[in-house]
Each structure stands twice: as structure tokens, then as C-alpha cells.
Amino acid sequence: MATANTPYPGLTFLKLGGSLVTDKTREATPRPDILQRLAAEVQAARDVRPEQKLLIGHGSGSFGHFAARRHGTRERVRTAKEWTGYAQVSRSAARLNRLVADTFSDAGIPILSLQPSASARCQDGELQSLALAAIHAALRVGLIPLLYGDVALDNVRGGTIISTEEIFRFLTPVLRPDRILLIGEAPGVLDAAGDTIDAIRPCQLDSIAAQLGASHGVDVTGGMLGKVTAMLELIATCPSLSVRILSGLPAGEVQRALVDPSYSTGTLLAA
């Protein structure tokens, strides 16, 4: 039963990393085979657990990140040229979102794509507001909201970029998901020797930050360190939340993670 603390019991946030669904070393290059397989795995998991509610997000990959780096959109949007770049980044991100939405819809998943930049407002890079009515309505009637890394208006910078993790961080205190799954290419968070770290707690962030390298390919939103930092800060304020970072490259991995909350692959971030 839904309560004020858990409006959507069993809700899972699922993020499909831009490095997974696109080739981040080549501009505007999707990976349709991987996208189709991921969609099939999500639908298979829904067949097993039809009661599970999902909210899906995806990174911008080689669509938004290349354009954003070219125009410096993350840092500021001031001049006419920079605003033109801002619009170009928005279109690039929306192009990938359309591909993801169509692929998941073709797999039988009731996707409702929602454009973050239509309502998002930031304060010096920090997401402050985002329209929630459509997200709540979708979850109530059994649709799956689909959001993505996008541009956003900013009261200080003029404009900026918001990542999917930042959107998840904003939505978590409102929607109270049980868990967040961050699906990428890497098998989890890797240490300096290249081995997967099994678990990380918020108090360990400073000690592991130096071990986390930059993202493979072009990423204007902080790579793995940015993802881990954002999620550990979120867990510090929502101790019941668990976050798992894992690879979507092995077939069946996403399906297993969705079906079984205790599935222990990748790296677990928890209080």
C-alpha cells in the first residue's frame, strides 16, 4: 500500500548509461543491437514481476556530450553563439531519447518520454525544480516515465547540463525509490588495479575518489567519479536507498538485476 513515505512501493530507478547505448568515441553513434537487447530484458523482467514500478533514464552519450563539449554548455550559456549551442545540445539529446523511446515501445514497454529541459531550473549547476505532475500521473496509471540527461536553464550560468544521476537525485526524496540501478559498460566501480569494488559506503568517498578515473570517451558530467559522488551524497540523506552500478554488456544481467533485488553483481553503494 502506498504511503506518504513510499508513494510507489517497490519503485526502481533504472539508468542506461550513455557509454552503453552509444559509442561515446564517435559522435551521434547509437548501438541499436544493445538497445534492443536491453529493451527485451526489461520487458522480460516485467513479465516476471509485473507489480514492479519503473522509472527509466538514459545518458546522452555521444549525442549530447559531443555537442555540449563543443559549446561549453555545462559551464555557462551567455552569448548568442552559446545559446545556439544550447539549442543544438537539446536537439542532440532529444534525438537519442527518441531512439530509446521507440526501441522500448517496440518491445511492448509502455514508455512515456518526458523532456527535462521543458521545466528544469538550476541554481549554479544544481537542479532546483522539475515538473513532477506527469511523472506522478504516469506511475499511477502504469506507464513508465523515461527521462534523460539534458540542458536546463540556470539562474547563475544562464544555461547548463543536468545528468540523469542529477535528475535521479532530485526525484528520490519525492518518489522514494527502493533502489537505483546504474547500467554502463564497466562491471562496476573499479579500483586502481582494475578490480571491481564490491561495496562503497558514503564515509569511504574521500578514500576512493583518487582511484576513480575519467570516463571513457567524451563526458561533460563527471564520469564515474561524478556518478559515485552524486549517489553517495544521496544515500547519506536517504539511508534506506541502495544503488548498484553494473555492466549491461553481458546478456541477461539487467533482467536478473531487475527481477532479483538481492542479485549481487557489480558495486553496491549503501549506507
Residue 222, pLDDT > 70, answer no
Strand partners, 112: 145
CA-to-CA distance for 181 and 174, rounded, in angstroms?
Answer: 18
Residues 10, 176 contacting (CB under 8 angstroms): no
Identify the CA nearest to 180 among candidates 164, 201, 162. 164
Grid cell digits, residue 239: 539511508
Domain architecture of the chain: domains with CATH: 12-269 (3.40.1160.10)
pLDDT in tens, 98-127: 999 999 999 999 999 999 999 999 999 999
Mean per-residue pLDDT, 35-61: 97
Residue 92, pLDDT > 80, answer yes
Radius of gyration over alpha carbons of the chain, in Å?
Answer: 17
Mark 14-41 as b/e (b = at least 16 C-beta within 10 Å): bbbbbbbbbbbeebeebbeebbebbbbb
pLDDT in tens, 238-267: 999 999 999 999 999 999 999 999 999 999
> pTM of the full predicted structure?
0.94
